[in-house]
Structures are given as C-alpha cells and as structure tokens.
Chains A and B, each alone.
Chain A
C-alpha cells in the first residue's frame, strides 16, 4: 500500500523550465494515467519518479519518505522499448532481479539457490503467460510477449510503485487489450501503485483510476522557455469493468 505525494515540483534544464508547480497526492493502490501533448513533460515527470533524474526544486514522497536519489528496486519500470536484456533468455531476464539481490558480488546464483530462484522466476513467467517461452531470447518473442516479459521482470522485485512509459504504444490493438487485462489483474493482485504515461486517451481512461494531464498554461512563443508545463486537469476515472469483475470475484471468495 503506497501513497505518493508530490510537493511543488520544478524541473529545469539550464534556462528552460520543463515542469513547474506540480502538486498532487495519490492514495495507495491507485492506477494513475499521465497524459498530455508531446513535450509536455510527462516523461520527464516519470523520470523524476524513477530518480533517473532529480528535480530542481520540490520533492516526491512515498509513504512520507522523500525518494532516494537513484533508481532503486522499490520502483519498477517498463519502458516502451529496450526494457528486457537481449542477451538473456526470458527466464534469465526474470531471474536476474533475484540474482542481483542474492548472488553477492558476482550477481550470480549456483546450485540449489539457483534452482529455487528459477522456480520462483517461473511462477512470474507463468503469471504473464510466458512459461512456454522461458528458454527463448527476447528477439524471438513478439512485441506483446516482450512487454509481458518486462512486466514479469519488474514484478519479481515486488516494487511498491510500477512506472510504465508508454508500455503498450507499439502493440497491435488485439494484443494490446490482452496485455491491458493482464496489467489490470496484476495491479489488482499486487496492490501496487501504478503510474502510466500514455498518448492514448482511451487507454488512459480505461486502465486508470485517475487521469492527470500535463500541459503548458502559457503557450506564446516567447514564453515557452520560461514557463513549464503543469497539471492541466486531474480527474478520477471509473475502474475498468474487468476490475469490477476482479473485485466481485475477490469479495465472493
């Protein structure tokens, strides 16, 4: 259960202000969609959440604690591309998160410890429907399978927050709705808080329990440099029918 609060966040690159006065709170187990036109800073905001970059001013707190200054396992991520490691098989891609944690200096496991970790990793692969592809390299997986693999890879670290940077943007429509439902199920089961950057408004409202739009308030040519984007609107969104089904099923148990 993770609560995120953003306090007066500013991001500047030299003279250029990209984001300004970003303030909002997100209750635990939210699914937040971040939308906005290109260059509105939504991906910058995601990088700040990830600590890939650090804010010029203001801070982001998770459960009351300011973010650590580097990317850490408490925040998982799935990018649109290059999320998985091409030189590792699907199973190894998921396993590596455990190997970094338990493998000591070499970041490798051997013998029984390795077999146990592999069994654990297999469960995550099964969870995203990739058990049959465990021994395949990412290059021989389809786009949808690669993204599912990236999700399993991130989830094995049990992150409190999952960050998605246009994760489904490159997928075919049919595949996309499949992965949507998978994502919702995993979000529901893990009780993570999810932030997803997307270009697709339908997707934003379908998946999100809340949609936050970034935009520049001042758009005149000479003002572009000195005024950054901020939150243009922020609205709750009804959970997808699939989530209601999940909730009903859970209540019935």
Chain B
C-alpha cells in the first residue's frame, strides 16, 4: 500500500526523500536563527560574548582540540573527553552489572522480590544530587565519587526496569524449562539472561541521559578535567565560544552512543524485534 499524499492531513504521508528533508528543517532553522542573532548582536557590539560568530567558534575549536594548552601542554578537548568518557562508561558499566544481577534475581525469585523490591523502590526515591556531598566526603574528590554518583543515579532504575522485564516473560517459558530439566540457575543463565540482554540495551539507552546529567553535575562541583568541568570553569569568563562547541560535542557523543547501541541491538539479537512486538 502506498501512503496517500492528498486528502485529510492525518492520512498524508511524506515520501522518503521529503521525509529526510523535513527532518533537517528544524536543524537548519536553528542554525539560521543563530547566525542572524549572532550577526545582529555583533554588529551592535563587536565584543559581545553571548552569540559568537561561526569564525570565533571554529577558532575556539581549533584552540581547544588541535593546539596544546599554553600552561599544561595538553590538548584540552581530548583530555576532557577521555576523562569524562571513562567516568561515564565506568559508571554505566557498573550500574548495568548491578542492575542486571539484582534485576534478574528480583524478577525471577519470589524470595528476592519480597526482600528487595520495597528497598529498591525507596532507594530509587533518594535524589542522587542530594547525596553528592556525602559521596565527596566519603570517597574524596577523585574519580570514585563521580562513578558512584552515576551508579547511584541510574542503577535503581535499571534494577526495577529489568525486574519488570523479567516478570513479563510468559510463565509458560519457565514451566517449559523446568519440564526440560532446568534448575533455577539454568533458567536464569540460559533462559532469562539471554532474553534480557537486548532489553538491557534499551535500559542503558534510556539511562544514558541521566548518566550524563550526573556526570556533568559531579564534574561541575569538583574535578580537574572533564567536559562538564571545562564548561563550568569557562562560564566564569563567559567563554561561549568554547562552551557552545563543548555542548555540541557532548550532544554528538550522546547521539553516537545511542545510535551504536541501537545498531548493535538489531545486529546481535536478530530474534528480538519479533519477540518484542506485541501478540
């Protein structure tokens, strides 16, 4: 069936080429709006810092990414990126391990569910940023506190989400596995975990936004490097020419992660698309 291109608005569908073009329109509009705004402000005051020109932005990128810092000799953008990503990946990986182990136990084993689910529900309500000072006091100002904040922020959600996904598995599967001679451990290892792996990717994708939030918050408060640290440091000098590319860079990284995870999910778990579809 070819989608209609006339008639009522709800029945009209853009073609593939038009669809791609339409998707670009908001981005293009934003760029144009920025260019106009920047032009107006700079024509009034050439020293205006709020909306730097594209030339100023690219100069700043050149300086941060491709020239060694005058004081330390580091290429700051890359140093910051490596620092931030290792914290982010460490935190997300740790939270995923915890979330998977506890989520599957809680979803599969009634005793674990009764023991843990109320605790996790209450724990998840603690605002992570409110305990950040405690983490800094306990773990010092180094890397550990930042990784722990990310874990603290996203692990409870991951546990609950996965416990729910496990509980959604049809009980027929668990009974069938038992009639095939499976022990509880066999069921967890061969039936539940492999079916959870693609769902864990969904959970990680959903958690990444929060993980970035907690990372940047922790870096803003106490760090010597990192993307969040740099942004908050340069804020004092109103250095929008650096802050804007940094924000753009963080966004780009987040988009790439999301894309890679989604691609990996379809590639590694070809059975999952059909299993996820309802009915």
B175 is an interface residue with CB less than 8 A from chain A: yes
Contacting residues, chain B, for A72 (C-beta < 8 A) = 178-179, 181
Contacting residues, chain A, for B178 (C-beta < 8 A) = 70-72
A242 is an interface residue with CB less than 8 A from chain B: no
A140 is an interface residue with CB less than 8 A from chain B: yes
Nearest neighbor of B188 in chain A, beta-carbon distance: A107
State the CA gap A87–B172 with chains docked (Å).
15
Query: Separation in Å of the B60 CB from the closest CB of chain A?
Result: 49
State the CA gap A108–B172 with chains docked (Å).
22
Cross-chain contact B172 with A79 (CB below 8 angstroms): yes
A79, A86, A105, A107: the one within 8 Å of B182 (CB): A107
Contacting residues, chain B, for A73 (C-beta < 8 A) = 179-181
Query: Separation in Å of the B272 CB from the closest CB of chain A?
Result: 8
Complex interface: stretch among B23-31, B49-57, B117-125, B190-198: B190-198
Query: Separation in Å of the B235 CB from the closest CB of chain A?
Result: 48
Contacting residues, chain B, for A97 (C-beta < 8 A) = 180-181
Nearest neighbor of A97 in chain B, beta-carbon distance: B180
Cross-chain contact A100 with B195 (CB below 8 angstroms): no
Given contacts A96-B190, A137-B274, A140-B274, contact A52 B175 (CB under 8 A): yes
State the CA gap A140–B273 with chains docked (Å).
11
Cross-chain contact B170 with A81 (CB below 8 angstroms): yes
A75, A84, A105, A140: the one within 8 Å of B179 (CB): A75
Cross-chain contact A137 with B271 (CB below 8 angstroms): yes
State the CA gap A101–B173 with chains docked (Å).
17
Cross-chain contact A154 with B173 (CB below 8 angstroms): no
A52, A82, A137: the one within 8 Å of B170 (CB): A82
Cross-chain contact A85 with B173 (CB below 8 angstroms): yes
State the CA gap A73–B181 with chains docked (Å).
5
Query: Separation in Å of the A146 CB from the closest CB of chain B?
Result: 12
A4 is an interface residue with CB less than 8 A from chain B: no
Cross-chain contact B271 with A71 (CB below 8 angstroms): no
Contacting residues, chain B, for A184 (C-beta < 8 A) = none
A36 is an interface residue with CB less than 8 A from chain B: no
**Interface bits A148-192 vs B (CB < 8 Å: 1, else 0):** 001001100101000000000000000000000000000000000
Query: Separation in Å of the A162 CB from the closest CB of chain B?
Result: 10
State the CA gap A134–B272 with chains docked (Å).
18
Contacting residues, chain B, for A150 (C-beta < 8 A) = 176
**25 A-B pairs with C-beta separation under 8 A:** A50-B175, A50-B179, A71-B175, A71-B179, A76-B179, A77-B175, A79-B176, A81-B170, A82-B176, A83-B172, A84-B176, A85-B177, A85-B191, A86-B195, A86-B275, A87-B272, A87-B275, A100-B177, A100-B181, A100-B182, A107-B186, A137-B274, A139-B275, A150-B176, A153-B180
- Given A71-B179, A85-B176, 16 more A-B residue pairs with CB atoms under 8 Å apart are A77-B175, A79-B175, A82-B173, A85-B191, A87-B269, A100-B182, A100-B186, A101-B181, A105-B185, A107-B183, A108-B190, A137-B274, A138-B271, A154-B179, A157-B179, A157-B181
* B interface with A by C-beta (< 8 Å): 170, 172-173, 175-183, 185-186, 189-191, 194-195, 269-272, 274-275
